[in-house]
Amino acid sequence: MKQDLHPSNYRFVVFKDMSNEYAFLTKSCVETKETIKWEDGNDYPLYKLEISHTSHPFYTGKMKLVDTAGRIDKFKTRYAKK
C-alpha cells in the first residue's frame, strides 16, 4: 500500500446538529476551532452540523424546513413577482 495516504490525526470529535441540539461522539480527522465538554467530563473538538439523521426529512418522515441562512426568504421574494 502507498505510504502517507491516510491522515494520521484521528481523534475523538463531537458532532452537533444545530437544528435540534443532538450531539454524538465519534473518531474523525476534521479540523475544528471550538471545543465542548462532553458527558464524560473531557473536552473534545466540536464540529457543528446544519442537519443530521435526527433532523433530516428522509429519516424522520416529517417535512421540516431548516433555514439557517435565509435562503427560503430570498427565494420567495425573488419569485413572488412572477
> In terms of DSSP H, where are the helices of the chain?
57-60, 71-79
**Count of C-beta atoms within a 10 Å radius of residue 20:** 14
pLDDT of residue 7 exceeding 90: no
Residue 50 lies in a domain: yes
Residue 1 lies in a domain: no
Please state the domain count of the chain: 1
Residue 2 lies in a domain: no
Residue 48 lies in a domain: yes
Residue 6 lies in a domain: no
Average pLDDT over the chain reads 80
**What value, to the nearest 5°, has the Cα angle with vertex 29 and ends 28 and 33?**
105
Instruction: Provide the pLDDT confidence category of residue 26 given band limits of 50, 70 and 90.
Output: very high
pLDDT of residue 36 exceeding 90: yes
